[in-house]
Structure 1
Amino acid sequence: MEEDILLLLLLEEEENLENRDRARYFRSLRDSTDPFALSESEFMKNFRLPRDICRSLIDDLRPHDQQKTSLPLTIRVLATLNFFGHGSYQKCVGNNCNLPMSQSSLSRSMRAVAKLIVKVKGEEIKFPSSTEEENIVRTGYVHTCVLKQLDSSKFTEFNFRFFTKYGIKSTIGAIDCTHVAIIAPASNNIERPLGLYLNRKGFYSINVEAVCDHRLCFTFLNAKFPGATHDSGIWATSDLREHLIRQHTNDSVGHRRQSWLIGDQGYPLEPWLLTPVGNPSTSQERKYNKLHCTARNCVERAFGVLKSRFRCLLKHRVLHYSHETSALIISSCVILHNIITKAGITMHAVDNEVEEDSDHVVNSGDCLQYTREGERIRARYISTL
């Protein structure tokens, strides 16, 4: 009996020693292992950002970091980037030999880092707001007096040149929606019923509205709506649409700014949003539709590149978070995508399902007036082709 007790005590002590040794090992690993010592290609593979851009990001976030934890900010940012990039389960990311941390620590860190990225780097998603910015986006031309006021980085940022690349004049962006899969919400949620998130593709999602430029950078993002919401329904209450309406109303008659977005037939035809001709009957209408389709395709490619870089947004990965946290992750990934794209780093897109909406868009009241004005603008533009 005494021998059995002694044996149990010895086994327990041996197990405690192993646990302490393992804990010391991971502490030393966390202190001594430097992910930045990886080759550039391996670093990019693991964290999606080049090392110099990643260091710069961490330096920019550091003054705003208020999370109370013993984990260094560098480890928390890298673990978050690894999760965004691979879409793996948090436990797998936490067990990464370069980033040893528990699942709960990773979960807290990911939310905190995502909030930091949106707070500090939110201006990376910027829609052209002034006349001069729109002119640069539409034509690539910058007046000398304006160029003197813009530093080189800002000039590069706004030098989109939709016209020179696609042949569509006055375009300031392409708009569309894409679905990002999330776990099924609670069935007893009164404010956001389960059915609102089941999209027409048959899975639960957030329907994300975005505008991009010809470089595949996103200039506007709206991740507020559940997957069952139609694209035109999202657009109807969009902050961007309200901005464009105010801009259109404030411009004096006869001096309207000739600039617009381009979208598919899931959107209403408006003076600031041109859609394809439903049944083209002339060579000019067919030419317009062809140019329109080529230019609008950039937003589909932008979604594909975004999801290729940050695979947590892929349909088959599924974000296991609430709508609010998922929207935060989406915004963070878009910001990081813009930073990488503006640095000139290209990436092949994954096959992104084209979210074509064939439902007829019904307009009434003021919307019908906008449609008629949009028809006149589109017809006038087509006549110049």
Structure 2
Amino acid sequence: MADEIKIAEKYRKRRNKRINQVAVAVGGYASLHLCKEPQHTSIYTGKAWVRDVLQGHSTRCYNMFRMEREVFFSLCTELQQHGLTETRNVGIHEMVAMFLNTVGHALSSRMQQERFQHSGETISRHFHNVLLACCRLAMSNIKPKDPTFQHLHSKIQPGGRYWPFFKHAIGAIDGTHISCVVNATDQTKFVNRKGRVTQNVMAVCDWDMCFTFVLAGWEGSAHDARIFDHALTTPSMNFPHPPQGKYYLVDAGYPTPVGYLGPYRRERYHLPDFRRSSALENDNEAFNYLHSSLRSTIERTLEFGRFEQEGSYAEENNDDDGVGSSHIPSSIESSSHMARLRDSIRDQIIHYIRE
């Protein structure tokens, strides 16, 4: 009888323990999903805040979203045409406002949750939806206005300082390093020569200071020549290759196949060097001076120059030590044709100076 009582007591304790475990689980579920305390309860919702900003003084829109009101509405329309759709609780204007306010002021998700009164999941989902729409918008807009490159830009027309030396130049190519945040396991690949975690971005612009091609996402440790090689040899990149007889201006960090004209190496090239001493030491420097002056267009294009000053090294891959793309494995080799063209242009410049 005593043994039976002990066994019954043992089973009763097990049963009570299981009941307690189930009760705790049910209570936890109820508190999380059934009896939740609302977190975002402010009466000033994100939708109301965005409407107030857009209907208020024009400076408020610029300060909050980093663009004029008309540009904001135009961007919303463009993004809708590129696949951005509103949801039941969040409209297009609020989605775009979330995105612009985040990137324009480097705000965290928690700050945006409080500002727009949405959950972290909602903020993240709509941010990435707008980002994807912006990528699609970029693919349809960042391209040459004249795909055939037949139009002669006023900057290199007769009477200008670059005529007739660079009359066939259609744009400039450069790279810049922009700070980025990556996983700890990938940080080593993104550390550049100055020890910063960056991504190496290659861009092409025309003489109107408009980007015609941008390739972002490469590691900061990648050399400009490697990114250049990838852009030119990957059909899916849709790189705007120069037609026969035309060429882009590149710096010493790039190879010079047909269609890409670089400077003379081991000679002065950057404009600040010429400003310190205006006297030309040899004929090659005369070519480098005009080449650098015209190619500097891309460094002044929009915010590209600012990125180079703040988050990168503008001249790090362009050292005048003769180090270029020759030590970088590449399927694109420099062309003797472009070397002869460079010599021909140099001779024209020297002849013009001596006259």
Q: Is the 8 A contact 1:261 1:272 kept in 2?
A: yes
Distance 1:362 1:350, change over 3 A: closer
Residue 263 of structure 1 aligns to which amino acid in structure 2?
V
Q: Is the 8 A contact 1:209 1:221 kept in 2?
A: yes
Residue 273 in structure 1 maps to residue 263 in structure 2: no
What's the TM-score, normalizing by structure 2? 0.69
Q: Is the 8 A contact 1:268 1:361 kept in 2?
A: yes
Please report how far the alpha carbon of residue 104 of structure 1 lies from its aligned counterpart in structure 2 after TM superposition: 3.5
Please report how far the alpha carbon of residue 231 of structure 1 lies from its aligned counterpart in structure 2 after TM superposition: 0.3
Counterpart in the other structure of 1:341: none
Structure with the bigger RCO (C-alpha within 8 Å, sep 6+) is 1
Secondary structure at the residue paired with 2:175? Answer: strand
Question: How does 1:26-105 map onto structure 2 within 5 Å?
Answer: 26-27=44-45, 30=48, 33-62=51-80, 64-66=83-85, 68=87, 70-96=89-115, 99-105=116-122
Residue 342 of structure 2 aligns to which amino acid in structure 1?
R
Please report how far the alpha carbon of residue 262 of structure 1 lies from its aligned counterpart in structure 2 after TM superposition: 1.1
Residue 263 in structure 1 maps to residue 258 in structure 2: no
Secondary structure at the residue paired with 1:293? Answer: helix
Question: How does 1:223-242 map onto structure 2 within 5 Å?
Answer: 223-239=216-232
Please report how far the alpha carbon of residue 24 of structure 1 lies from its aligned counterpart in structure 2 after TM superposition: 5.2
Say what the alpha-carbon RMSD is for the aligned residues: 3.6
Counterpart in the other structure of 1:213: 206
Counterpart in the other structure of 2:150: 135
Tell me which of 128, 134, 139 is aligned to 1:111: 128
Distance 1:49 1:43, change over 3 A: same
Distance in structure 1 (CA, Å) of the matches to 2:109 and 2:161: 42
Secondary structure at the residue paired with 1:267? Answer: coil
Residue 54 of structure 2 aligns to which amino acid in structure 1?
F
Deviation string, structure 1 residues 24-55 (Cα, Å, up to 9, x no partner):
51349637842212322231222122211211
Counterpart in the other structure of 1:360: 324
Please report how far the alpha carbon of residue 269 of structure 1 lies from its aligned counterpart in structure 2 after TM superposition: 2.3
What's the TM-score, normalizing by structure 1? 0.64
Deviation string, structure 1 residues 337-361 (Cα, Å, up to 9, x no partner):
xxxxxxxxxxxx9786414313432
Secondary structure at the residue paired with 2:255? Answer: coil
Distance in structure 2 (CA, Å) of the matches to 1:197 and 1:90: 24
Distance 1:350 1:367, change over 3 A: closer
Distance 1:115 1:295, change over 3 A: same
Q: Is the 8 A contact 2:50 2:94 kept in 1?
A: no
Unaligned runs of 5+ in 2: 1-36, 268-279, 350-355
Distance in structure 2 (CA, Å) of the matches to 1:139 and 1:378: 21
Q: Is the 8 A contact 1:180 1:206 kept in 2?
A: yes
Counterpart in the other structure of 2:301: 302
Distance in structure 1 (CA, Å) of the matches to 2:239 and 2:42: 61
Q: Is the 8 A contact 1:162 1:213 kept in 2?
A: no
Distance in structure 1 (CA, Å) of the matches to 2:172 and 2:241: 18
Question: How does 1:359-378 map onto structure 2 within 5 Å?
Answer: 359-362=323-326, 367-368=332-333, 370-378=334-342
Residue 176 in structure 1 maps to residue 163 in structure 2: no
Residue 181 of structure 1 aligns to which amino acid in structure 2?
S
Distance in structure 1 (CA, Å) of the matches to 2:189 and 2:108: 26
Distance 1:210 1:290, change over 3 A: same
Distance 1:307 1:22, change over 3 A: farther
Unaligned runs of 5+ in 1: 1-18, 141-160, 188-192, 252-256, 309-313, 316-348
Distance in structure 2 (CA, Å) of the matches to 1:360 and 1:209: 16
Distance in structure 1 (CA, Å) of the matches to 2:138 and 2:87: 21
Secondary structure at the residue paired with 1:65? Answer: coil
Distance 1:55 1:268, change over 3 A: same
Please report how far the alpha carbon of residue 111 of structure 1 lies from its aligned counterpart in structure 2 after TM superposition: 0.9
Counterpart in the other structure of 2:9: none
Q: Is the 8 A contact 1:58 1:73 kept in 2?
A: yes
Q: Is the 8 A contact 1:198 1:228 kept in 2?
A: yes
Please report how far the alpha carbon of residue 232 of structure 1 lies from its aligned counterpart in structure 2 after TM superposition: 0.7
Deviation string, structure 1 residues 72-105 (Cα, Å, up to 9, x no partner):
1111101211222222323334444xx4444432
Please report how far the alpha carbon of residue 171 of structure 1 lies from its aligned counterpart in structure 2 after TM superposition: 1.8
Counterpart in the other structure of 1:382: 346
